[in-house]
Structure 1
Amino acid sequence: MKVVKELWNSKGERVTFKDFADEYFHYPNQPANHSIDFGFKKTGNTSDFFTSVKSKLELEKENNGNQNQKFPDCITYLIENFERIIKVLPEDLAIIRQEFEERSKQGFGDYNSFKKWILDIFDYKRFRDSSKIRWFGNCLGVKSCLYCNAQFTHIIKGKFSVEKLLFQFDHFYPKEQYPYLSLSFGNLVVCCSTCNQHKSNTFDSKNLHPYHHDADGIFKFEVSEEDILGKLLGLGNNSLKPEIKILNENSTTIKFNKDRIEKIYENHADVVEELLLKSLYYDESKKSELLNAFEGLNLSESMIDRLILGNYVLEEDINKRPLSKLTKDISKQLKLIK
C-alpha cells in the first residue's frame, strides 16, 4: 500500500527502479563475489532467459515466419526495443503500450492469435519458475501484499533448498492483453493470490500501481465515533468495522481498492477493538514506564509504539507486515500514536 520507489540491489544497496533496471536485465550474469548473498540458487538457464526470448523473435524474422508476415512491424519493434521493454520503468509502461499498439495497426490477420504467440514466446510461466523471479521478489523487500496489505508475501525454502514464493506477481498491464509486457519488471507487482485473482484481465487506467501511486496517501481507515462510543458504553453488539475515507476525492486511482478492501477489513474488527482497549490504557505515563523498563536498549519512540501496537507504525514501514496501515490509521484516530 505504501508506494515502492526503491529496491535492494545485489550489493545490498537501496537503489531506484531506474538504477536497478540493468541488473534485472542481466541477472544472474553478475560477479560471484557480491557483498550480499540472498541465498538463491541460480538453477536453470535463467542467465540466458531473455537472450533466448529475443533469439526466438529474431529467428521468426530471419525465416520470414507466419507471424512476421502478418505483423512485421511488431516483430521488428520487439527485437529493436527488447532490452528497453524488459527494463521499462513503471511510469513508462504506457509509452511502450502506445508504441506497440500503433505498429499493430499496420498488420493484418488475427491479432488475438498474434498476442497469444507473443505470450508463448515470452513464456512467463517458465519465467515464474525461475530463480530470477524469486531474486527479484526478494530485492523488492516487501512482506505484505501491495494491494490489500492483509496477507504476507514471503519467500521460503522448500525441497532441496529451492526457494518458493508464497505470493504472486500481478501484471499491472494484463499479460493476456499486453503479452510484450509480461516480463517487464515495472509491470510485475507483488501481491497475494486473492488480489491477483480478483483483478480483471482487462486493463483499467484507474487501477493503482504500487510502484508509482501511493495508496497510503489516497485513503485512510477510520471508525465512526458513534461506534466507538457504543462499544465503550456496551450498547448492543457494536462491532468496530473500519471504513475507508478517501483523502483525495479527485483521485483516479482508487477504483480497484475501495469497495473490496472495505469488505476484507470488515473481518479485522477485532484488531480495532484491541487498539481501542490499548488507547484506554497506554497514556504518556505508561509509555514512559516502558521506556524506563528498556532504558539500556535506547529504544526509539516508534519502537515503543510498535511494541504496544504489535505492528509497524511508520509510513515507510507499511509494506513490512500485514495490517500495518490499518494499525497506523486507527491508532492515530484513537490518539495512541502521534
Structure 2
Amino acid sequence: MRRILIDSELEIKAENYSKNLFTGRNANFKTPLDELKKLRDSLQMKHRVQKQYVQKIIDQYQEILKASPEEMRLLITSFQTIAKSDILESKLKTKDKLKFHELIVKAMRYDELRSSEFRQFVSSSGIKTCVYCNSQLAIISEISFYDKKEKKRKPKVLAKFELDHYHSKSQYPFLCTSFYNLYPVCGNCNRAKSKLDIKFELYTYDPSKLDLFNFWIDDETVINYWLEKTPDVSKLKIHFDSIDGDYDLINEYNKIFGIQGIYDTQNDVAEELLHKAKVYTNAYNKSLLKNFHDLFPDKNILEKLIIGNYANSSETFKRPMAKYTQDLAKQLGLI
C-alpha cells in the first residue's frame, strides 16, 4: 500500500538479522548451514546441479540473508544460471514427498523463522497492518490461558499475520529467509498473491517513491451529498488510483488484492471526514492549539484526534485504514 524507506536504521536491522538469526536457540538446534551441508552431502553424483545450487547458498548465506531488493535480483540471475524451475520442481527420488525447492526451504529452517524469530522483528518494527491492503491487522498478541494439566495460567504469543515472499519460495527457495523478501500480510492478501510476481515492491531507497497509490473522493458526489435533503452515504465515490498514472500497476494491484472493493465498503469513514472538515477549519484548529496547549503540545496530536487515525504518512502501518484516512483528510484540508 505504501513503501518503506531503506535508511541506515533499517540497514542495521537487516545486518543484525543476518548475524543473529537463530543464535538464541539451544545448543541442540540445527542451524540452516548445518542442514544445508547435510542436504548437500546427501546428494548423489547424478544430482551435480542440485549440489552446486546448495553449495552456492552455503557460500553466500550471510549475503543472502541481508540482500537488498537490488541485490536479490542479482542473486536471482546468478542462481538461475545453475538451475531452472524444472530442477527446482523435481524430486530427487520418485518416492520422495518433497520437491527440491521444498528441501531447500526446509533446510533453511523457514518454518522455525516464521514461528519465532521473525515475530520479534515485526513486533519491534511498528508494522501492525497488512502491508498490501492496510485494512487488516498484522500483529503479535500476548494472551494467557489456564492450563488444566499444570493447574496454572500460562502465557501464549500469537502471530495474527502471515509472511508473504515477494520472490516466491518455489521459484527462489534460497531467498526464503531473506530479510527484505519477507512481508507481514493478512491471510486474504497472502492467498490472493500466492506465487504471483507483482510490480509493487515494499522496500525502496528512493524517498520520493514511497507513495505509489492515492485515495481520493469525487468532488461531484460530495456536492450532491450536501445538496440532498437526506444525504445518502452510499452515493459518495472514493477512487483508488496510481499517483504517477501507472495503469498496469494499479490494475494489477486491484485485480489481485481487490483494494477498490474493500474500501468501497468504508464510505461511512469518508462521510465522517466530510463532516469533520466542516467543523475543524484552520482557524478553529489554531484556536485549539493555542487555548489547549497542554492537551495538544503539537499539531500531530490534534490531527490524529480529528481524523481518528495516524496523520503522519510514516505511521501508515500502525493502524488499519490509515492510508485511506490520510489521503482523504489531506484532500479535505483536515491535515
- CA distance, structure 1, for counterparts of residue 194 and residue 328 of structure 2: 30
In the TM superposition, residue 21 of structure 1 has moved relative to its aligned partner by 2.5
- CA distance, structure 2, for counterparts of residue 67 and residue 57 of structure 1: 18
Count matched residues: 313
What residue in structure 2 maps to residue 39 of structure 1?
A: none
In the TM superposition, residue 271 of structure 1 has moved relative to its aligned partner by 0.2
What residue in structure 1 maps to residue 189 of structure 2?
A: 195
- CA distance, structure 2, for counterparts of residue 186 and residue 294 of structure 1: 43
- The change in CA–CA distance for 1:91 and 1:164 in structure 2 (over 3 A counts) is farther
- The change in CA–CA distance for 1:202 and 1:147 in structure 2 (over 3 A counts) is closer
What residue in structure 2 maps to residue 209 of structure 1?
A: 201
| Alignment equivalent of 2:32, drawn from 49, 53, 56 | 53
Q: Is the 8 A contact 1:68 1:75 kept in 2?
A: no
What residue in structure 1 maps to residue 131 of structure 2?
A: 146
What residue in structure 2 maps to residue 21 of structure 1?
A: 14
Q: Is the 8 A contact 2:132 2:185 kept in 1?
A: yes
| Alignment equivalent of 2:215, drawn from 215, 221, 233 | 221
- CA distance, structure 1, for counterparts of residue 46 and residue 287 of structure 2: 72
- CA distance, structure 2, for counterparts of residue 109 and residue 320 of structure 1: 38
Secondary structure (helix, strand or coil) at the match of 2:9 reads strand
- The change in CA–CA distance for 1:122 and 1:294 in structure 2 (over 3 A counts) is same
Cα RMSD (Å):
3.0
- Which deviates the most, 244-253 or 325-334? 244-253
What residue in structure 2 maps to residue 283 of structure 1?
A: 281
Structure 2 spans left out of the alignment, 5+ residues: 92-98, 145-153
Secondary structure (helix, strand or coil) at the match of 2:203 reads coil
Letter in 2 for 1:150: S
Please, what TM-score do these two structures have when normalized by structure 1? 0.82
Please, what TM-score do these two structures have when normalized by structure 2? 0.82
Secondary structure (helix, strand or coil) at the match of 1:189 reads strand
- CA distance, structure 1, for counterparts of residue 139 and residue 32 of structure 2: 29
| Alignment equivalent of 1:122, drawn from 108, 117, 137 | 108
* Residue 258 (1) aligns with residue 254 (2): yes
**Post-superposition CA distance 1:132-153 (Å, at most 9, x none):** 1111112322122211111222
1:300-319 correspondence runs (5 A): 300-319=298-317
- CA distance, structure 2, for counterparts of residue 77 and residue 202 of structure 1: 25
- The change in CA–CA distance for 1:63 and 1:217 in structure 2 (over 3 A counts) is closer
- CA distance, structure 2, for counterparts of residue 224 and residue 231 of structure 1: 11
- The change in CA–CA distance for 1:268 and 1:21 in structure 2 (over 3 A counts) is same
* Residue 3 (1) aligns with residue 13 (2): no
In the TM superposition, residue 97 of structure 1 has moved relative to its aligned partner by 1.3
What residue in structure 1 maps to residue 167 of structure 2?
A: 173
Structure 1 spans left out of the alignment, 5+ residues: 8-13, 31-41
- CA distance, structure 1, for counterparts of residue 88 and residue 215 of structure 2: 50
In the TM superposition, residue 265 of structure 1 has moved relative to its aligned partner by 0.4
- Which deviates the most, 154-163 or 185-194? 154-163
Taking every aligned residue pair, what percent have the same amino acid on both sides?
A: 27
In the TM superposition, residue 187 of structure 1 has moved relative to its aligned partner by 0.4
- Which deviates the most, 67-76 or 323-332? 67-76
- The change in CA–CA distance for 1:66 and 1:171 in structure 2 (over 3 A counts) is farther
